[in-house]
Amino acid sequence: MTDKFYWGNSVSSMQTEGGWNEGGKSLSVYDLVQAGENHSDWHFANDNYHNYTEDLDLMQDLGMNMYRFQTSWSRLVKDGDGDFNEEGFAYYDKFIDDLLDRGIEPMICLYHFDMPLHLAQTYNGFISKHVKEAFIRYAKEVVRRFAGKVKYWITFNEQNIFHFSESFKISGYLKGERTIEELYQIFHNVMVCHAEISNFIHETTEAKVGGMLAYLEIYPASCRPEDIQAAREVDEFLNISLLDCYAHGEYSRAMMTYVKNIGIDMKASAEELAAIKKQKNDYIAFSYYASTTISAGKIPENTPPNLYLDFGKEANPYIPSSEWGWQIDPLGFRDILNKVYHRYHIPMFPIENGLGVREVWDGFCPIQDDYRIAYHHDHIVSMLDAIQLDGVEVLGYLGWGLIDILSSQGDMEKRYGVVYVNRGNRDLRDMKRIPKKSYDWLKSVIRSNATNIYPSRK
C-alpha cells in the first residue's frame, strides 16, 4: 500500500441530493416516479442539496481522501439541451471547494441514469444522435468549468449496463420495441460520448479519466462445456466488448462478428469510430458487489449473448447470499482485478463495493452491523492480495453509499452505509446521521492504510 492510495465513498445525485425542483433544476426521468410500497420517490433523497456539510465532515473524520459524486445533467442544463444553469454550476463549484477544504479529492461522474425528462420524452434518450450531442455539450462544459480543481473523472456509471437489457431503463428510452438492434445503437452512442469526453479531457486538461463498468463475476453453473461456453460469451459481450474499447479503441472482434452475422446496424459513422479509436483511459473503474452462475440449458435458442443473464442466471450453492439474493464472493473481486489488469495493463480502480441490508435503529444504540464489517474486511483483504501477491496496480477503494442513501430502486430500507440516516421510504423523520459499529472499524482501516487488517508484505 502507498500513501497515495484512495479511500472513499461513491454516490449518485438523485440518490443523495433532493432539491428536485429548486435552484433552476429541470426535470429528470426520476422526478416523475411516485412512491410505492417498497420505495420512495426521488424528491428529497438525503437532502444534500440543502445540507451536505455534515456528510463531508463524517467522511473527513473517517479519513477518506476521495469522494465520487455525480453532477446532475438536469441541474446544469435546462431540459438537457437548453441554456446552462449558472445556479447549478455555482452549487457544484462550492461543493467541490468544500471537499478540497477537507482534504478530499473529488471524482466527478457525468451520468448516472437520470436522463433529462425532455430528452427522454422528445428524443427517446440515448438512441438519438441529438441526445448524444446534447450530452457531449453538457459534459464538455462541466469539464471546462471544473477540471482545474477536479483531477479524476468518469463519464458513465457502469457503462456496460447499456449493453444489457437494463439499457432501456437507464438510457431514457421510453417507447419502442426494445430490439437487439436498438440495444446496440444505444450502446454505441454512449461509447461515442465516452470517447469524445475522454479525448476532450486529455486534449484540454491535466486531469485523468477512466471508463467504468459493472463487473458481475459469472461462473459456469457446472463443468458442462455448454455452461463454460455460456459464461465465456457473457463475459465477452457484457465486459470484454467494452474493455477492448477502453484499452484498444475498438469493439471486440467477437462482438463485431456477431453484429455482422445478425445484420445489426449500429448507425456508427466513420467519425464516431475514429473518436473511439483515439480515446484512451487512465484507469479502469468498476463496481463489484457479487457473483453468480449461468446455466446454458435455461437459455432459449438464438438468444443474443447480451441477454443470457435474463434467462440463465442461477444461484451458486457454495457461497452465501444477502437478503436481496446478491451472492457474497470476495474471491471473485480478486479474480476480476487480476484478469482485467493482466489482460490490459491499465490501473484498476474499484469505486463501488458494499452490502445492502435492511436495518432498524432503536433510537439510542448504534446498529451492530458485524455483517458489514465482515463483508468489507473480506473484500479489502482480497483486493490487497491482488495488489501484493498478484502484482495488480490498484489506485484505491471506494465503498458505495457509505452514508445511507436511496438504493438504485429508491428503497431507503436497503442500507449500505456505515452511517445510518434516520428516514424511511415514506417518513422523512429527522434525517439524523448515526454512525454504526462499522464506522469505527472502517475509520481504523483507513487511518492505518489497512495495515491493521493486512500488514504490508515486503
SS3 413: coil
Three cell numbers at 21?
Answer: 425542483
Kindly report the number of other CB atoms within 10 A of residue 344's CB atom. Answer: 17
CA distance 44 to 428: 8
Instruction: Let me know if 206 is a catalytic residue.
Output: no
Torsional class of 280: left (φ above 0), alpha (ψ -120 to 50), beta (otherwise): beta
Kindly report the number of other CB atoms within 10 A of residue 411's CB atom. Answer: 18
Cβ contacts of 272 within 8 Å, gap of 6 or more = 188, 192, 195
Which one of the listed residues 105, 158, 233, 272 is annotated catalytic?
A: 158
Q: How many residues does the chain have?
A: 458
Residue 454 · residue 381 · CB < 8 Å: yes
- Parallel, antiparallel, or unpaired: how do β-strands 217-220 and 208-214 relate? unpaired
Residue 294 · residue 227 · CB < 8 Å: yes
C-alpha distances (whole Å) from 77 to each of 42, 94, 113, 116, 260 are 19, 18, 16, 9, 38
Q: Which of 158, 142, 148 is nearest to 350 (CA)?
A: 158
b (16+ CB within 10 A) / e for 34-67: eeeeebbbbbbbbbbbeebeebbebbbebbbbbb
Q: Show the DSSP H helices in 279-314 as ranges.
A: 308-312
Cβ contacts of 5 within 8 Å, gap of 6 or more = 394, 395, 396, 397, 449
SS3 237: helix
Instruction: Let me know if 352 is a catalytic residue.
Output: yes
CA distance 46 to 351: 21
Put the strands of the sheet holding 396-400 in their side by side order. Answer: 348-352, 283-287, 208-214, 152-156, 105-111, 66-70, 6-10, 396-400
Which one of the listed residues 17, 217, 233, 352 is annotated catalytic?
A: 352
Active site residues: 158, 352
